[in-house]
Amino acid sequence: MSTLQQYCTFTLDGFLVGVEVSRVQEIIRYHEMTPVPLAHRVVRGLINLRGQIVTALDLRRRLDLPERAAGAFPTNVVVRTEDGAVSFLVDEIGDVVEVDDSSFERPPETLRGVARQLITGAHKLSDRLLLVLDAERAAGLRDEG
C-alpha cells in the first residue's frame, strides 16, 4: 500500500529540491546575517529569528553548486533538526507538493560529490524531477568527506 508524502519545494541553480513538510518550521525572506569568523564556508552567518539565534547555511555551497548571482538574495527555509532550528538559504521557494511514495526512485546517477550523500532520491513529477534532500544530513557539516 502506498502512502502520500508532502514536500516543501524550492529551487537551487535550476534544480527542484524538497524537504519533508514536517521538518519545515517557517519560510522567511532574506534576513541580514551576522558573519561568523572562521566558520565553515557553508555557514553564511547567524540570523535572529524573534530572539532565537539560527545558523544560516547556503545550500548552493553545501551541494557544491555555483554561487548565486551578485545581488540575488536567497530565501530562508527554517527547518527543525535534532540540534535545533537551521536556516537553509535557497534561490526561490516553490509549492508544497504531495507525491505518492511509490514514485520514489534512487538518486540520479548524474549526481556527484556531496550531493550523492545529501539527496536521498527523487520523485518524477509531471514536468520535472523533485530531488529529496535529507535535511538532517544537510544541516550537519560533520558528514563531509
CA distance 9 to 45: 23
Dihedral in degrees, nearest 10, Cα atoms 86, 92, 98, 101: -70
- Confidence grade of residue 113 (pLDDT, cut at 50, 70, 90): confident
Q: What is the pTM of this model?
A: 0.92
Query: Has residue 1 got a pLDDT over 70?
Result: no
Position of cell 534532500?
A: 133
Q: In the chain, count of helices (H) and strands (E)?
A: 3, 11
pLDDT tens-digit series, residues 7-62: 999 999 999 999 999 999 999 999 899 999 999 999 999 999 999 999 999 999 99
72-96 pLDDT, tens per residue? 999 999 999 999 999 999 999 999 9
In order of start, what are the domains of the chain with their CATH numbers? 4-140 (2.40.50.180)
- Residue 142: the pLDDT is 60
Question: Is the model's pLDDT at 112 over the cut of 70?
Answer: yes
